[in-house]
Structure 1
Amino acid sequence: MSVTPEQVAAATRTAGLDLAPETAARIATAIAPAFTAFAPVANTLPFDLEPATFLIAQRRERRA
């Protein structure tokens, strides 16, 4: 899996920030090794380890 400067720029635009093309390229180069290393286990981790939805899952378990 590779991260392109265009993907970085699109993500930051979504957050309301604009990046210079050089900055987007630098960020893409910096994070690409982490994405590559994580790729073999992507989508194999248990649901409760995904931090954005952890509280939702935790609260649902309490109600049950």
Structure 2
Amino acid sequence: MTRPTEKEISAIARAAGVPLDTEVATRIANSLGPAFDSFAAIAGTLPFDLEPSTFVFVQTEKVAR
């Protein structure tokens, strides 16, 4: 998990069809950076499910029982 750059932010926005100035992409990258830095120490150690779409299935299964 690395800190996003303005180029990466711009590419994601472009892929989503959202026009984004370089200045705005830089501001977004700077505002997200500290969060990525905070989680760097535990990156890769959290037990996330590999397929998030199964979460709804598992929750529905528990409710149905």
Instruction: Name the TM-score, length of structure 2 as normaliser.
Output: 0.71
Distance in 1 of aligned mates of 2:44 and 2:20: 29
Percentage of matched positions with identical amino acids: 37
Higher helix share: 1
| Structure ID, larger Rg | 2
Secondary structure of the corresponding residue to residue 47 of structure 1: coil
**TM-align CA RMSD:** 2.7
Aligned-residue offset at 1:7: 0.7
Structure 1: 5+ residue stretches without partners: none
Gaps of 5+ in 2: none
| Contact preservation (8 Å) 2:3, 2:32 | no
Runs of 4+ in structure 1 over 6 Å off: none
